[in-house]
Amino acid sequence: MLYAIISEDANDSLAKRLAARPAHLQRLQDLQNQGRLILAGPHPAIDAENPGEAGFSGSLIVADFQSLTDARLWADADPYIDAGVYARVTVKPFKQVFPQ
């Protein structure tokens, strides 16, 4: 089943985000290699594709997991959590309707 992992960044977390980004991206690449990643990306803090020093306000990941528990365990192990990037992470079931 698909699950949405919706993360909100802590204030002033850009430097922490950049430092932990390689490890964070490797985990996403692993999901993609397994055919389980639907989409992933950050939310720019301003209305711009590249927000520069404004940074990001959070992230969204939609991926396939066996259960809500598995999705939460995976989300809890994100390097961004250990680095203090995320202030809050919500994991919930997601039903994809489009695209089909």
- Encode pLDDT of 46-97 as tens digits: 999 999 999 999 999 999 999 999 999 999 999 999 999 999 999 999 999 9
- Residue 18 confidence class, pLDDT cut points 50, 70, 90: very high
Starting at the edge strand found earlier in the chain, the sheet holding 2-9 runs 37-44, 56-64, 2-9, 86-94
- Residue 4 confidence class, pLDDT cut points 50, 70, 90: very high
C-alpha 28/C-alpha 1 separation (Å) is 17
As a CATH number, domain 2-94 is 3.30.70.1060
Residue 96: its pLDDT value, please?
A: 97
Are 13 and 81 spatial neighbours (Cβ–Cβ below 8 Å)? no
Residue 100: its pLDDT value, please?
A: 85
User: pTM for this structure?
Assistant: 0.96
